[in-house]
Amino acid sequence: MRLLMLSLIICLFGCSAKEKMIDTNNAGQKLYYEKCNGCHRLYDKTEYEPKKWREIMNVMKKKSHLTDDDERMIIKYLAE
Ligand code: HEC
């Protein structure tokens, strides 16, 4: 029983840790998560080609009032 509890705890920890695996060292990704989920879901970076991301960012930049630096870092994450 104790072993069962233990493995349950380990699983819970492991599973939730996986979901929250946002690399905070990656500034562009962090900004993306912070700035871009207000109006719609966070689209996965693999859903669009880099070229398309740049076009989208032209529009979304205005919607989310990004600074040029923020924009550059988000594009770096999404389109490079
Ligand atoms: C103020 C609200 C708002 C914010 C903030 C916002 N978006 Fe959007 N976004 C929209 C709306 C509305 C649409 C759908 C209608 C449209 O295409 O204009 C959309 C659509 C999209 C799409 C789908 C476009 C397509 O052609 O399929 C992507 C991808 C996207 N946004 C990315 C982003 C990114 C990246 C950011 C952060 C830089 C962001 N959005 C921030 C409102 C927002």
Domain boundaries, the chain: 23-79
47 pLDDT higher than 60: yes
**Cβ(43) to ligand 1 under 6 A?**
yes
46 pLDDT higher than 80: yes
**Cβ(38) to ligand 1 under 6 A?**
yes
Q: Which atom of ligand 1 is nearest to the CA of 32?
A: 37
Q: Is 41 left (phi over 0), alpha (psi -120 to 50) or beta?
A: beta
53 pLDDT higher than 80: yes
pLDDT value of residue 52: 98
- pLDDT band with cut points at 50, 70 and 90 for residue 80: confident
Q: Which atom of ligand 1 is nearest to the CA of 74?
A: 38
Give the pTM: 0.79
* C-beta separation of 26 from 51 below 8 A: no
Whole-number Å distance, alpha carbon 21 to ligand 1 midpoint, is 23
